[in-house]
Structure 1
């Protein structure tokens, strides 16, 4: 690692300095290396006595050495600074962009046109399917899909986009050496090979609550637009949508059943001016098509891992209701989701119809009522 890049790392990892202090020092001294070598009396007017003392005492040294060792030992790992030529212009133009990001994977994806796809952690089966299908088709159209590697919609969006050349970027709210939640470990490993993972947090940083709004601002800042697939009114994905709107980006939302509490966040966004979308063509009509095609993937990657994020309540009837979600669905789809025979599914549907919890619709479809 060259001297200037190591100095960026030192400033970024110094306790009490923070992104704003780092950028103040770069502006004042002209380079990270000059700032790191400055005297305490020169530093204090810009960052305060405590941070200046921490920098002079080398309090970041152990963390810097650990980061250097991880970068050297980890395939595809890199540091991205705000002054690097491939730092995404969209993110640099936002308020308070992260001055330094840890990256792992296909660095060339930073230069691709990007769309954020976000939503609920506790998504319905329809929501998960929508996230996968929209992300896959948008990635085929040339958009790199950006999301947060959370359970639910985020994971489904990454899964859908992975097989396309444009692939997907995960912005995480932990250190880049950690996969959170643990259930997404396999997906994270695939992203590190065929996609890209980014984090502004130090190695080993845990999943702290205040990390996730910061992660959301990076997701919103990277993308040309933000598609919310499914979200409750208190979902963190609405924060991402708000940040996208504040940065002048397009906000789009997929509507759902009025009986689905996870559609209400999308409905609120639509009431507030978000674009209602029903198809991938609706999205492309709003954000346009990428001007250039995505780079080819390093190697073909297997499709999405087995679905583990759909809730599985106890009891056959509850399992069927969970598999139905809130939108009309046919028996073939239910047999696929539940891994049951059509006869078993029909028997469960009949029981739920008699209980007034499911209604039959024209065309052989069914919809839950509770």
Structure 2
């Protein structure tokens, strides 16, 4: 779009007191962003000129930077069908992914090692099946899902709650760079928008709307992932959940979804079959809690799959504390066991 049209869209969106619903009504009534913006406010916001200049400079910096307005040919059809489509989307990367078949994978920021492994493995398999994996670039499950999908046929889309010139959390700068180069980063917030808490629930509606379904890997009962799942269900999209230990707080959100009618999945193939997507011929089915068929380990067998304390392990195995601690450290370094707070441990099944 040219500078005048960009300025009109930004003026409409940035005018104080004009919400998304009002802006859409003005567009419908007046036919163009220029006319709608003039009706919204006789005078442009003070910071508008600087924001237009910043946005134009960002667009000129990289051919993979885009601004997509409601009604543009590249605007995602799935968002048009949602009740609250963004007026403007900022995008960096492969714009064609906006209209690719997609699945959202979301979950706890404070995920267990098992949860991250499951998210990574499911994303890799589903991405190989041609689904773009949508998530929110957050710590924990989101990051693992993006990592698993990178390099697959489907690719990955990160929906962010900041301006696209920001990276949050900062430790994901390298991951965000890879996604922009190989996949797509997208958001509705103007450049310069910092990570404000109220913007992250708002971006969840875009995650849910872009995807044909939402898979929740791990979530507490207070997790924002449940907001995404509810939005997906309200929009008539499929909701999937991976069950976990009845003793793990990170499983309680998934179990609540299952009680409410979410589809229980144990393998990525379960998701592909439900969506009517054929499995990739080159990949074997991925199962969430399956142990690799290598050397049996009596200690792992004694642990089971629930979190367990050191004292209980001593009672189960009859092994002394010093010897058991040394063996647990070996398994931890090998990526077979995760150390939890309170001297508790959990076996990690290889997905």
User: Shorter-chain TM-score category?
Assistant: 0.7 to 0.9
Please state if 1:150 is matched with 2:138: yes
The 5 A counterparts of 1:193-342 are 193-289=181-277, 326=306
On the 8 A contact 1:143/1:290 being kept in 2, the answer is no
Deviation of 1:99 after TM superposition, in Å, equals 1.1
CA pair 356-90 structure 1, distance change in 2 beyond 3 A: closer
1:19 is aligned to 20
Deviates most, 15-24 or 105-114: 15-24
> Shift of the alpha carbon at 1:356?
9.8
Partner Cα distance (1:251, 1:150) in 2: 20
Question: In 1, distance between residues paired with 2:344 and 2:162?
Answer: 41
| Preserved CA contact (<8 Å) 1:91 1:218 | yes
Q: Does 1:4 align with 2:1?
A: no
Distance in 2, Cα, partners of 1:236 & 1:161: 22
CA distance 1:147–1:366, change in 2 (3 Å): closer
1:71 equivalent in structure 2: 59
Deviations along 1:99-139, one digit per CA (max 9) or x if unpaired, are 11111000011121010000000000000000000001000
The aligned runs of 1:71-150 (5 Å cut-off) are 71-150=59-138
Task: Give TM-score, length-normalised by structure 2.
Answer: 0.79
1:345 to 330, 342, 345: 330
Per-residue CA deviation, residues 185-207 of structure 1 (Å, 9 max, x unaligned), is: 10001111101011111111111
Q: Is the 8 A contact 2:78 2:99 kept in 1?
A: no
Matched, 1:29 2:14: no
Residues 134 and 29 of structure 1: is their aligned pair in 2 closer, same or farther, counting only changes over 3 Å?
same
TM-score for the superposition, normalised by structure 1: 0.75
Residues in 1 aligned to 2:13 and 2:170: alpha-carbon distance in whole angstroms: 27
Contact 1:15–1:60 (CA under 8 A) maintained in structure 2 = no
> Following the alignment from structure 2 to structure 1, what is the Cα–Cα distance between the partners of residues 129 and 233?
23
RMSD: 3.1
CA, structure 1 residues 290+260, in 2 after alignment: closer, same or farther (shift >3 Å)?
same
Pair 20,366 (structure 1): closer, same or farther in 2 beyond 3 Å: closer
Answer whether contact 2:65 2:92 (CA < 8 A) is retained. yes
Mapped contact 2:20–2:86 kept (Cα < 8 A): yes
Q: Per-residue displacement from partner, 1:58-87 (whole Å, max 9, x unpaired)?
A: 652221111111111134110111101221
- Is contact 1:14–1:60 with CA below 8 Å preserved after alignment? no
Q: Secondary structure at the match of 1:163?
A: coil
